[in-house]
Amino acid sequence: MNKDQDNEKVDNKHRPMKYQQFRPGPPFGAPGQRGPGRPPSAPPNFTPQLPREEQQLASPSGFRGPSGGGINFRRGPRDFRGCMNRFTYIWLINGNNFWFYPVFVGRNTIEGFRWRRNRWEYDRIFSNRILFHVCF
C-alpha cells in the first residue's frame, strides 16, 4: 500500500458524519396492542386534585404574567425523567388536564401516550404548556 492510499483511509475514517436528527415515532405494535413503551393498562380510576399552590397560579386572578411573577412559561421538562413509563397526570396552562404515559423526554418536549376517548393515543407536549404534573 502506498502513502497516498494510507492517507485516504485515515481521512475517510475521521471524516465527520452528517448530522441526523433523531425523533422517535410511536412505539412498535398496532393500535390497541401492547408494544415496547406502551402503557400496560388503562390509567388509574381516579382524578388527582391540582395542589392548592398551583390552583392559585392557574386561576385568572393568580396570573401576573411572565415578568410579574405568577406562572413561569419558560420551565423545562423538569422532573419528567422520574415519570418515564409511569402513569402521570398533567395540568396544562390552558386549563386542560389528562392522564399521560411519558416514554421520551426531549429538550422542550415530552412524548408518550395521552388517554383520550377511552384509549391511549401517541402525543407530544411542549413542556412550556405544562402547569403541573404528578406521577404514580
For the chain, domain boundaries: 50-136
Cα-flanking dihedrals φ and ψ of residue 115, to 5°?
A: -80, 110
In the prediction, which pLDDT does 130 show?
A: 93
Per CATH, the number for 50-136 is 2.30.30.100
In the prediction, which pLDDT does 71 show?
A: 43
Enumerate residue ranges in the chain where pLDDT < 70: 1-36, 54-78
In the prediction, which pLDDT does 3 show?
A: 57
Q: Based on the number of CB atoms within 10 Å of its own CB, is 120 exposed (0-12), middle (13-18) or buried (19 or more)?
A: buried
Alpha carbons 73 and 119: distance in angstroms, whole number: 30
CB 113 within 8 A of CB 122: yes
pLDDT digits (tens, 9 = 90+) for 70-92: 444 444 446 788 899 999 999 99
Output the nine-digit C-alpha cell for 6: 494510507
Alpha carbons 78 and 60: distance in angstroms, whole number: 24
Task: Determine if the pTM surpasses 0.85.
Answer: no
Q: How many CB atoms lie within 10 A of CB 7?
A: 10
In the prediction, which pLDDT does 7 show?
A: 52
Output the nine-digit C-alpha cell for 34: 401492547
- Please identify which residue in the block is written with the cell numbers 386561576: 59
Show the CA angle centred on residue 120, arms to residues 40 and 98, nearest 5°: 105
Q: Which of 122, 117, 98, 107 is nearest to 44 (CA)?
A: 98
